[in-house]
Chain A
Amino acid sequence: MAETTLPIAAAAAPPDAYWRRVLRRFFRHKLAVLGLVILIVEALVVIFGPYVSPYTFDGQDFNLIGQPGPMGPEHWLGTDELGRDAFTRLIYGGRVSLVVGLAGAVIATLLGTLVGALSGFYRGWTDTILMRFTDVMLSIPTLPLVLLLSGLFHPSPPLLVAIVGALIWMGTARLVRSQFLALREREFVEAARALGAGGPRLMLRHILPNAIGPITVSATLAVGSAILLESALSFLGFGIQPPVPTWGNLLNAASPWLSQAPWLALPPGIVILATVLAVNFLGDGLRDAMEPKE
């Protein structure tokens, strides 16, 4: 992530006028709107799908056990080798994968913002220590580290999400730091300081709201990173464990049947791709809308 000091959009304009402009710019970005639509549709399907589907994610049709069943009117995406409906498992997997993505991104954003804010605001030793720590974290290959943690500690799904979030905050931290470094020198911060505002108040009430654009963008992109990381982890067999489906472990289960039942391996990958792509489009649109280069 590039460490650029971004222009602070319309800090002087009244807030609602600013947000109206952001919305207008956002809705002009076709791909971002497409991304938003994809995500809303996915959210609706994974929330309501399980109530509509006649199958449960672990319900087996014992007549179909032994090998994957083909796609058809009863099982739209076929069945897996244990006779479970692939479409239902895909929807359920979506619940898990999307929640992991969102929660992982929230954790990463909170951590990254905290580290970046302290670093950029206090500078000096605080900055040195926190940034060296960030460098250390950036120097350990992420996927192997998650694999190691997952293999050693056998974490429960919530803990796994926390681990995923705790390993992808570094970009956000660097970004927030550069924002704080620039913003802390601005007149309005100086004015608040002169009025007697202390560190926490300056950071939370005065600087943070002005850095919200870049933070939102990087939080959005973190959803994509978290989904990709969890799916890779589950694909390798060290993520959330079956019978609970995630898009990653569905692909893990489908890979031995690749030549006999390719229809099992296609849908989970397509939805991961579509989701991450939608998130990236959304992030790109938000960036253009919230931080116009003018």
Chain B
Amino acid sequence: MSFSFIVRRVLGAIPLLLGISVILFTIVHLAPGGPLDIYADNPSVSPEALQQIADRYGLNQPVPLQYLLWLKAMVVGDWGFSIRTGKPVLGEIWTRIGPTLQLGGLSLLISLIVAIPLGIISASRRGSKLDTSLTLVSFAGMSTPVFWLALLLQLLFSVELGWLPSAGLQSIGGGSFTDRLLHIIMPAAVLSLATIASWSRFIRSGMMDVLNQDYIRTAYAKGRSEWGVVFFHALRNALIPAVTVIAVDFATVISGAVITETVFAWPGIGRLFMESMNGRDYPMLMGLMMMGSLGIIIANIVADLAYAALDPRIRYG
């Protein structure tokens, strides 16, 4: 994998980002009342003041020009100001991104730690009772509404058993490692469920394809134990198809984060999105949408690189 491949892959993302920015810009401008909707509903804002705001933000310019001005501002990092707090959008996102990265990182870790062994066990015991039950469980996992699972866990562990706190990043006045760990367990588990279900399926099918190949029989013939074969010979190749799925699922994880953070009052950017929805904070929403899309694109690039790193047959010039 060469440096020029990475550069080309990153440059290839630019048209995507432009496409996304056009769509988002169009949506906000097509909305009834446009970006000034929130002021238009407010009786204390006079038509003259509205006009002034429109002038200040260049909203009287032709729409394509407005788009270009907006795009230029986005590129140089001027993402506007939150209507709710008056602070810069980018700064607000920055202060809220930490908890989301913690939550997302932990759930990614949980998903991998659980999904890989499940997929391997299913594949190597194909058709057994265990495999069938795991298949059923993963079907159920993919079909469970995230928000309902969140409510169920709160009901069980917070209301009934009282073992885990039902919301927040930490207790008031708390903040020790144990305290934070207790707070993050449920949201991370909820966020992991769907990805565990889907990834274990893909690792299972990847593993089954690999286990049928000649080189695996050779490894057995050499006297390798079953686990030796699985871990040292098969796993790496079985993970290759799964890598792409993991990247595609990143979009699902973002949607899941919005729900999970809302139910568990987790102060990350998913909850910030819902707060901004309720406050009709358009600059904030636009910023968050761009941020989410950027995340998905980066995940896809990383997946491509991982793909190339795992499979030496793939050579991107």
Contact = CB atoms under 8 A, between A and B. Distances in A.
Contacts of B139: 277, 280-281, 284
A153 B255 contact: no
Interface string A226-270: 001001100110100000000010010011001100100110110
Contacts of B255: 141-144, 232
A232 B259 contact: yes
Given A133-B19, A136-B23, A236-B259, A141 B143 contact: no
A235 B28 CA distance: 23
Given A138-B251, A231-B145, A277-B143, A251 B20 contact: no
A149 B282 CA distance: 12
B277 A151 contact: yes
B20 A136 contact: yes
A258 B155 contact: yes
A63 interface: no
A159 to B, nearest CB: 13
Contact of B297 (A139, A251, A272): A139
B240 interface: no
Interface residues of A, number: 46
A251 B148 contact: yes
A149 B277 CA distance: 10
Given A136-B19, A136-B20, A273 B277 contact: no
A269 B292 contact: no
A190 interface: no
B1 interface: no
Given A144-B254, A151-B277, A273 B297 contact: no
B43 interface: no
Contacts of B288: 144
Contact of B144 (A133, A255, A273, A279): A273
Given A144-B288, A148-B285, A238-B277, A273 B16 contact: no
Contacts, number: 134
A265 B155 contact: yes
A280 B16 contact: no
Contacts of A147: 258, 273-274, 277
B11 interface: no
Nearest to A268: B148
Dominant secondary structure at the A interface = helix
A145 interface: yes
B259 A143 contact: yes
A135 interface: yes
B145 A140 contact: no
Interface in B11-67: 15-16, 19-20, 23-24, 27-28, 31-32, 37
Interface in B134-172: 136, 139-140, 142-148, 151-152, 154-155, 159
Given A136-B23, A144-B292, 20 more contacts: A31-B136, A140-B23, A140-B296, A141-B292, A141-B293, A142-B251, A147-B273, A147-B277, A149-B27, A228-B145, A231-B147, A232-B259, A251-B145, A254-B151, A255-B151, A258-B151, A262-B159, A265-B151, A269-B148, A276-B145
Interface of B: 15-16, 19-20, 23-24, 27-28, 31-32, 37, 136, 139-140, 142-148, 151-152, 154-155, 159, 241, 248, 251, 254-255, 258-259, 262-263, 273-274, 277, 280, 285, 288-289, 292-293, 296-297, 300
Interface of A: 2, 31, 132-133, 135-136, 138-145, 147-149, 151-153, 224, 228, 231-232, 235-236, 238, 248, 251, 254-255, 258-259, 262, 265-266, 268-269, 272-273, 276-277, 279-281, 284
